[in-house]
Amino acid sequence: MTTHSDSRTEERASLRNAIDQTDANLVRTLVERRRLAEALGALKAGDGALVRDMDRERAVLDRAIALGREEGLDEAFVEKLFQLVIDDSLRRQRAGLDARVRTATLNEAKVAYLGGPGSYSQFAADAHFAGRYSAVMPVIQREFAGIFEAVEKGEADYGFAPIENTTTGGIVEVYDLLRDTKLKIAGEHHYKVEHCIVGKAHDLGTVRTVLGHPQALRQSQRFFARHPELKTRAVSSSTEALNEALTGKPDIAAVAGRDAARLFGLNVIDSHASDHPENYTRFVALAIDPEPASPLLPCKTSLVIVTSDAAGSLVSALDGFRKEGVSLTKLESRPIAGKPWQQMFFLDLDGHEEHPNVARALETLQGHAVSVHSFGSYGSDRLEPARRGGA
């Protein structure tokens, strides 16, 4: 005899199965939309049209919100969902037009980065090169200098290095290596970092020592200030920290991401180790003289400049960007080795070197700077989302 409880259990199972089927259909629809967007992107590139069309994006949002409203869906939910869909479309189109190494037949990219399995660099590199190549072949390095050397010696097609973080700022070692390299920037990737304390233990009460890369420990200082009983120890990479947490005693833990804990079979002991919830690291892909990005992309251009000691020389050098309406997204000074108290400046600007206004601004810069070195133009990773028409 079927009981009321059995009937309710069967009903729940049936509904869950229907939800699973609906989810599968939703994923297939998203895949089909991505395919159509990529085909449209190829047509636009063939016609010389810009990848981004803000009016079209606003029209897509307005139509989706109107349809959702008719079906009783929350407008903010629909807008957020479709902004994510549009962002994915732009990323996929950018993958085919971004700067890349000149080997036309390259399917698998050899990428040099810090650490190994479970490192933030691994997850960021996999995300960045997805859509560009069929696979990433890691060329593991233990220090930042090794990343640059691997590319310069031809051991890797790309280097992939963190350059700045929204919590701790610019990564000095990488900027110093950029100062002397002949490599160009072939792309950027902003990776959201969510530091966790991971290990064999199930709670912090049994943890005594936490290992992590120096940057990870710096970005978790408030957490460790709240837990003075925990000793910290810096290691060369998150991978090394994870390995020690895996093979050592249960009182050893690591600062790493949730995905890394899953990869190593470790517990997430505390998921709130980051000083700030919105913690992003910007990575740059480096290559020897890559093919430049298409001017049809929303692009960034990176430079390092040296100005004279004359009063107002930096202001004069940068004035062309103001006159031409070119936005500077970064201006960072670094000392010049061997020349005490003299500075060089790293600049990031919105736009491609071939865009007329950028070219004119760079001409003004050349006229006032002692030296200008360009790292090239490449696709912007962070794009301001389109807003609804009239919003």
The answer to whether residue 281 is catalytic is yes
User: Is 14 buried (19+), middle (13-18) or exposed (0-12) by CB count in 10 A?
Assistant: exposed
Query: Does 283 qualify as catalytic in the annotation?
Result: yes
Contact 185, 283 (CB under 8 A): no
Q: How far apart are CA 318 and CA 391, in angstroms?
A: 33
**Residue 186: count of CB within 10 angstroms of its CB:** 28
Phi–psi pair at 24, nearest 5 degrees: -65, -40
N- to C-terminal Cα separation, the chain: 60
SS (H, E, C) the chain: CCCHHHHHHHHHHHHHHHHHHHHHHHHHHHHHHHHHHHHHHHHHHHHCCCCCCHHHHHHHHHHHHHHHHHCCCCHHHHHHHHHHHHHHHHHHHHHHHCCECCCCCCCEEEEEEECCCCCHHHHHHHHHHECCECEEEEEEECCHHHHHHHHHCCCCCEEEEEEEECCCEECHHHHHHHHHCCCEEEEEEEEECCCEEEECCCCHHHCCEEEECHHHHHCCHHHHHHCCCCEEEECCCHHHHHHHHHHCCCCEEEEECHHHHHHHCCEEEECCCCCCCCCEEEEEEEECCCECCCCCCCEEEEEEEEECCCCCHHHHHHHHHHHCCCCEEEEEEEEECCEEEEEEEEEEEECCCCCHHHHHHHHHHHHHEEEEEEEEEEECCCCCCCCCCCC
Which one of the listed residues 264, 283, 346, 375 is annotated catalytic? 283
Task: Report residue 22 CA to chain centroid gap.
Answer: 31
Measure CA 37 to chain center: 22
User: Which one of 281, 301, 307, 364 is the catalytic residue?
Assistant: 281
The SS3 call for residue 213 is coil
Active site residues: 281, 283
